[in-house]
Chain A
Amino acid sequence: QVKLLQSGAALVKPGASVKMSCKASGYTFTDYWVSWVKQSHGKSLEWIGEIYPNSGATNFNEKFKGKATLTVDKSTSTAYMELSRLTSEDSAIYYCTRSAAPYWYFDFWGPGTMVTVSS
């Protein structure tokens, strides 16, 4: 069965960076896009961007360009997102999810990684 296993919660200081992971199993990792979605506490969902593991191609929400960096390790079927220059506005739960090109329908989601930015 399809699973997306995400790394654990992180507490980071303002100005620092954080890198989180999303390990996929149960499907061919290189056949689907991996997207990242932000959910601030009690709020709606924001699409950050996506990466296609087969080629490394990425697309971003303009708002997150320069904030998020997406990479993959095909050998371990793992996607990564690094967030830089963190502020309190980056405190949120971050989900990885997959979609089948060319459709932006997210059929499986990871459990989320909670990031707290605090000094």
Chain B
Amino acid sequence: DIQMTQSPASLSASLEEIVTITCQASQDIGNWLAWYQQKPGKSPQLLIYGATSLADGVPSRFSGSRSGTQYSLKISRLQVEDIGIYYCQQASSAPTFGGGTKLELK
């Protein structure tokens, strides 16, 4: 199985701040990477696919990038509705998810 290691496990940030979450793949997955947001008591929602492509309806303050086997999700200006848990997921082989990053307001 391909392991996805997310960091940090939790993050506290202020409104309008830039937030970056990273995900390290245990082997080469190319651009087969997605990011999801999960709000409390809700299902995950697709944010980014193909490492850098924005899913339909997702605000442009979200962006994804890749450097080798490290992937990043960036929120350019944190909003209150962005609070939740973020997961990366590799889509290169049988899907596996990162451990999650809990994003809270400072």
Interface flag for B78 (CB, 8 Å): no
Given contacts A103-B91, A105-B91, A109-B43, contact A44 B34 (CB under 8 A): no
Contacts of A111 in B (CB 8 A): 42-43
Interface flag for A89 (CB, 8 Å): no
User: In A97-111, which residues have CB < 8 Å from any B CB?
Assistant: 97, 103-107, 109-111
Q: How far is the CA of A110 from the CA of B42 in the complex (A)?
A: 9
B43 touches A45 (CB 8 A): no
Interface flag for A54 (CB, 8 Å): no
User: In A55-76, which residues have CB < 8 Å from any B CB?
Assistant: 59, 61-62
Q: Pick the residue among B43, B46, B56, B96 that contacts A95 (CB under 8 A).
A: B43
Considering the complex, give the chain A residue whose CB is closest to the CB of B53. Answer: A105
A47 touches B87 (CB 8 A): no
User: In B74-106, which residues have CB < 8 Å from any A CB?
Assistant: 87, 89, 91, 94-100
| B60: min CB distance to chain A, Å | 18
Interface flag for A53 (CB, 8 Å): no
B95 touches A44 (CB 8 A): no
The bracket for how many chain B residues form the interface is 20 to 34
Considering the complex, give the chain B residue whose CB is closest to the CB of A103. Answer: B91
Instruction: Give the residue among A35, A95, A106, A112 with the most B Cβ atoms within 10 A.
Output: A106
Q: Pick the residue among A59, A104, A109 that contacts B44 (CB under 8 A).
A: A109
Q: How far is the CA of A105 from the CA of B94 in the complex (A)?
A: 11
Given contacts A45-B44, A109-B44, A110-B43, contact A104 B91 (CB under 8 A): yes
B49 touches A47 (CB 8 A): no
Contacts of A46 in B (CB 8 A): 97
For this complex, 15 residue pairs linking A to B, each with C-beta atoms less than 8 Å apart, are: A44-B97, A45-B89, A46-B97, A97-B43, A103-B91, A104-B34, A104-B91, A105-B34, A105-B49, A105-B50, A106-B36, A106-B44, A107-B46, A107-B49, A107-B56
Binding site for B on A (CB under 8 A): 35, 44-47, 59, 61-62, 95, 97, 103-107, 109-112
Binding site for A on B (CB under 8 A): 32, 34, 36, 42-46, 49-50, 55-56, 87, 89, 91, 94-100
